[in-house]
Amino acid sequence: MSGYRKLGRTSSQRKALLRNQVTNLLYYGRITTTDTKAKEIRKIAERLITLAVKEKDNYETVTVTQKVPKKTADGRRVKNVVDGKKVTEYEEITKTIQKDKPSRLNARRQMLKTFYPIVEVPANGQKIRTESKKVDMPAKMFAEIAPKYENRKGGYTRIVKVGPRKGDGAEMVIIELV
């Protein structure tokens, strides 16, 4: 007997389906799917949430200095002529960043193996390319989802039955984060 449901797909199709569903569940908080898919999604999602909860505070803050090009009011780089060449002017800024410790870095990489990249597109549909931004799902896991479940020992998802699907009668459910 296998340790997972095959869902009537080849292994690559099944992995892609589950990765997509888990990414959407953790991004949106709830999705509607079939009962058997939801039970497989629950396994993967709860494992990732547990990983995020364990490594939530495992980082150190570091102050770094960085050279950044000076910019004008309209966003263009400031350039000066030196020896007949245009040279960009730079300024040094100091920032404090969170540097992951090795176990948290490993957890982040394990999450990235599962998550598909998500791009937030502006709602108005204008300037899609310039105003869309990539979502860092591991950062969302550590910052938003892990603090929510830090005092909970498992059981991060809930499956609610909706009823049979109209087309083929498959049992539909809503899987959501508790």
How high is the pLDDT of residue 3? 84
Domains and CATH numbers, the chain: 11-58+102-177 (3.90.1030.10), 59-100 (no CATH)
CA dihedral 125, 126, 128, 133 (to 10 degrees): -90
Count Cα neighbours of 9 within 13 Å in the Cβ-side half-sphere.
13
How high is the pLDDT of residue 1? 52
Backbone φ and ψ for 17, nearest 5 degrees, come out as -60, -45
How far is the C-alpha of 167 from the C-alpha of 95, rounded, in Å?
A: 56
Q: Point out which residues pair with 171 in neighbouring strands.
A: 164
| Assessment of whether the complete model's pTM goes beyond 0.75 | yes
What's the mean pLDDT when you consider all of the chain?
A: 93
How far is the C-alpha of 143 from the C-alpha of 127, rounded, in Å?
A: 29
Q: Residue 151: which of 126, 175, 125, 178 has the closest Cα?
A: 178
How far is the C-alpha of 140 from the C-alpha of 26, rounded, in Å?
A: 9
How high is the pLDDT of residue 60? 95
How high is the pLDDT of residue 22? 97
Is residue 31 within 8 Å of 175, Cβ to Cβ? yes
Which segments in the chain show pLDDT lower than 70? 1, 125
